[in-house]
A and B are shown apart, each in its own frame.
Chain A
Amino acid sequence: EVQLVESGGGLVQPGGSLRLSCAASGFTFSTHEMNWIRQAPGKGLEWVSYTTSSSSTRYYADSVKGRFTISRDNAKNTLYLQMDSLRVEDTAVYYCARGGNTGYPLNAFDLWGQGTTVTVS
């Protein structure tokens, strides 16, 4: 089955750290760009971070730049998000999502995980 499964969410104090994981299966993970998107309680979607398939290019939203780090292990078919210096406003459901494999960068997100909840309090 083609799927993404996030884990690692939880309750953390302001200033703390957390590492999210996203395990991919059923497709060739190493050929797809990947993203993290978050959704604060009752709010809309906010793109957080992006990585190319080879990790050669990574982008971050201004709201997390310098605090969050995206990475991936293609041998383990896993995407990560290291979150440091967490703030109350980082509280959200965090989704990983696959970018379409078009040969061009920054594709639409054609596969999403079910999300993992991060609470900073």
Chain B
Amino acid sequence: EIVLTQSPGTLSLSPGERATLSCRTSQSVSTSYLAWYQQKSGQAPRLLMYGTSNRAAGIPDRFSGSGSGTDFTLTISRLEPEDFAVYYCQRYGSSLTFGGGTKVEIK
């Protein structure tokens, strides 16, 4: 069973700063099957990225995804106030598994 480990657990940053979130998988994952979700407080999650680096509809280009094998990264180039939230990575395609999440909080 694949395990997705996200780090750090919490990221404390200021608006305008760059955020780098990590997702490590216990087995190699095809870049076609790695997604990221954003969940704001009290809201349902929404799809941010799929296929590692493809932005979902309506997602601004300050969000980018990269990685391969067992190491994947979500980068937010310049944090806007609305970006402070919890982010989850997910492996799909042959199983459906979420990472534990990274909270991006205002410093």
Contacts and interface: CB of A to CB of B under 8 A. Distances in A.
Contact of A106 (B93, B98, B99): B93
A75 to B, nearest CB: 26
B44 A106 contact: no
Interface residues of A, number: 20
A45 B92 contact: no
A35 B101 contact: no
A9 interface: no
B45 A106 contact: no
A104 B95 CA distance: 13
Interface residues of B, number: 23
A45 B93 contact: no
Interface stretch (A23-31, A80-88, A109-117): A109-117
Nearest to A115: B44
Chain B interface helix/strand/loop/mixed? loop
Contacts of B100: 44
A45 B98 contact: yes
Nearest to A98: B47
A73 interface: no
B98 A113 contact: no
Contacts of A110: 47, 50, 56-57
B98 A44 contact: yes
A105 B32 CA distance: 13
B97 interface: yes
B50 A100 contact: yes
A45 B45 contact: yes
A70 to B, nearest CB: 13
Interface string B82-106: 0000001010111111111100000
Interface string A48-61: 00100000000100
B46 interface: yes
B79 interface: no
Interface of B: 35, 37, 39, 43-47, 50, 56-57, 88, 90, 92-101
